[in-house]
Amino acid sequence: MSTDTDVSTLNSLIKTTLDSVKGFEDAAENVDATRFSSQFREFAQERRQVVTMLQAEVRRLGGNPEDDSSFLAAAHRTFMNLKDAVTGRDDKAVVEEVERGEDYIKEKYQAALRDTDVSPQVRQVIEEAYQSVRRGHDRASQLKHSLQGQGSY
Q: Where are the domains of the chain?
A: 3-147
CA distance 79 to 37: 22
CATH class of 3-147: mainly alpha
Please state, for a pLDDT cut of 70, what percent of the chain lies above it: 82
Q: Which amino acid is at 112?
A: A
pLDDT of residue 49: 97
Q: In this structure, what is the dihedral angle of CA atoms 59, 61, 67, 68, given to the nearest 10 degrees?
A: 180
CB 99 within 8 A of CB 140: yes
Query: What is the average pLDDT across 46-73?
Result: 89
Which of the four pLDDT bands, split at 50, 70 and 90, describes residue 85?
A: very low
Read off the pTM: 0.84
Query: pLDDT band at 150, cuts 50/70/90?
Result: low
Cβ atoms of 96 and 89 within 8 Å: the answer is: no
Half-sphere exposure of 129 (CA within 13 A, CB side): 32
